[in-house]
Chain A
């Protein structure tokens, strides 16, 4: 049974017309830990990826692919890394449904184009950052 409705698919297909370069969605799973959520997460990502030739999916297992998982800095499951021309540092923890789903689609378009939509002053300030910035955003599906 699919997670996305036909209406969702049509809307996402329209968003994906803006994709200009390849995107890789790296899915992190672990059967023994949150197995149901990991399966749901993987299914959702595959459904999204089916909507564009530009999107590839790779699944990593926390228990098996340890070195690669560590390199991504992912410690919890389910998780998704959205990569474009490089790993931009975009991570999703938990199944991105509801509000987070639209953020996932936005992240895919962003990673594909590499073009953030921010004010010129913001971009200028970010260019001067002298330290790493870790932003966590907690949300709920509704």
Chain B
């Protein structure tokens, strides 16, 4: 998922971590990774599969919005 790393370069607020799911089974279990790619933003918003850039941005904005 390249969008995450491009967003990290675009903003000092954004950090992108790519995790190889099979090498980190505990982390994958903790985040209930069933299918890949799986994206988790601020441990709050998550989705599976590739999405268009505007939807990815929507998820980022949702993750930082007030609850």
Query: Footprint of B on A, CB under 8 Å?
Result: 34, 37, 76, 78, 82, 84, 88-96, 100, 103, 106-107, 110-111, 114-119, 121-123, 125-127, 129-141
Q: A89-B14, A129-B64, A135-B14 are in contact. List 9 more A-B contacts (CB 8 A).
A: A90-B16, A92-B20, A94-B20, A110-B5, A122-B7, A127-B11, A136-B39, A136-B41, A137-B4
A6 CB to closest chain B CB (Å) equals: 25
Q: Which of B13, B21, B39 contacts A140 (CB 8 A)?
A: B21
Q: How far is the CB of B20 from chain A (nearest CB, A)?
A: 3
Bound CA–CA A92/B19 (angstroms): 6
Across the interface, name the chain A residue whose C-beta is closest to B63: A133
B24's partner among A76, A133, A134 (CB-CB below 8 A) is: A76
B6 to chain A, nearest CB (A): 4
Pairwise interchain contact A133-B60, C-beta atoms closer than 8 A: yes
From known contacts A93-B24, A94-B24, infer whether A140 and B53 are also in contact, taking CB-CB under 8 Å: no
CB-nearest residue of chain B to A141: B20
Are B19 and A110 interface neighbours, CB within 8 A? Answer: no
Beta-carbon contact of B21 and A139 below 8 Å: yes
Could you tell me if A131 and B64 are in contact, using CB atoms closer than 8 angstroms? yes
The answer to whether A134 and B64 touch across the interface, beta carbons within 8 angstroms, is: no
Interface residues of B in 17-67 (CB under 8 A from A): 17-24, 27-28, 31, 33, 36-43, 53-54, 57, 60-61, 63-64
Are A94's CB and B23's CB within 8 A? Answer: yes
Say yes or no: A137-B7 contact (C-beta < 8 A), given A103-B2, A129-B13: no
7 contacts between A and B (CB under 8 A): A106-B2, A123-B10, A129-B11, A132-B14, A136-B31, A139-B36, A141-B22
